[in-house]
Amino acid sequence: MDDIGVPVAVPDTVRRIVSLVPSLTESVAATVPEALVGATDWCSHPADLDVARVRGTKNPDLETIKKLKPDVVLANFEENRPADLEALRAAGLAVWVTKIETVEEAFTSLDTMFRHACRTTRPAWLDAAEAAWRVPAPAGRRTAVIPIWRRPWMVVGRDTFTGDVLRRLGVDNLYAGHAERYPKIPLPELVERRPGLVVLPDEPYAFSETDGPECFPGLTCALVSGRLLTWYGPSLAEAPAVLRRALGG
């Protein structure tokens, strides 16, 4: 069964994989590149990825996916719409859905995905990633808000992989207890809460030195790689060290 408890009839041998999640695409490309035949337009890693494109994560081209005749389609409960995945299942395709909200879940989910959905062995980079995250968090803790969009302002809320990554790096999300996972919060409220840190990733909104920090006068802003903060794949191995430096911890 996949991460959401759905039985998936994956063939004993998997030679053709379509990935509907950028981080899973990078993971497969780093492990069994010869099997990857399709990916979304948002799948930007590796840079030289040369496979059929199937539009976006929220509007995949279902007909193109069917024509690729994948042995398995890799998806994620947050990234992809249930209706699209159900349509692929109805077409007779094996759809494997991941659900990853913590770093530990990433290790477990990816290990299971490779062994059962991709029918291959556990990759060495996954061992390296686990080792990289065994480093203890800094002694002193800080609070942060993590905007992911502006116009309107949206931040990271409850039960997110991003929040767990930061928690393990000694940074506590001020909106971790919010009822929504990605709530819309007015900018004045974000500023008034006076967080110790404002974490500004470069995706999905491309915050930069000239677009974002000016909205938080008097607060410490940290510009970080969105890929290292939100992707679960080979980037997990470098994420702890690089993010610590970017966060100033």
- CATH label of the domain that carries residue 91: 3.40.50.1980
Residues 106 and 193 in one domain: no
Number of domains present in the structure of the chain? 2
Residues 79 and 151 in one domain: no
Boundary of a domain, candidates 90, 122, 154: 122
Q: Is 132 a member of any domain?
A: no
Amino acid at 204: P
Q: Is 225 a member of any domain?
A: yes
pLDDT, one tens digit per residue, over 131-190 is 999 988 777 899 999 999 999 999 999 999 999 999 999 999 999 999 999 999 999 999
Locus of tokens 């109805």: 90
Q: Is 11 a member of any domain?
A: no
Residues 72 and 164 in one domain: no
Residues 241 and 148 in one domain: yes
Of 211, 215, 221, 209, which Cα lies nearest the Cα of 246? 221
Residues 234 and 164 in one domain: yes
Least confident of 1-15, 17-31, 128-142, 201-215: 128-142
- Percent of the chain residues topping a pLDDT of 90: 97
Average pLDDT over residues 214-220: 97
Domain limits for position 182: 142-247
pLDDT surpassing 80 at residue 229? yes
Question: Is residue 87 classed exposed, middle or buried when 0-12, 13-18 and 19+ CB atoms within 10 A define those classes?
Answer: middle
pLDDT, one tens digit per residue, over 78-91 is 999 999 999 999 99
Q: Is 97 a member of any domain?
A: yes
pTM score over 0.75: yes
Residues 105 and 159 in one domain: no
pLDDT, one tens digit per residue, over 120-145 is 999 999 999 999 999 887 778 999 99
Q: Is 146 a member of any domain?
A: yes
Q: Is 127 a member of any domain?
A: no
Cα–Cα distance measured from residue 178 to residue 181, given in angstroms and rounded to the nearest whole number: 7
Interaxial angle between packed helices 239-247 and 161-168, expressed in degrees from 0 to 180 and rounded to the nearest 10: 70
Angle at alpha carbon of residue 88, lines to 85 and 91, rounded to 5°: 155
Q: Is 9 a member of any domain?
A: no
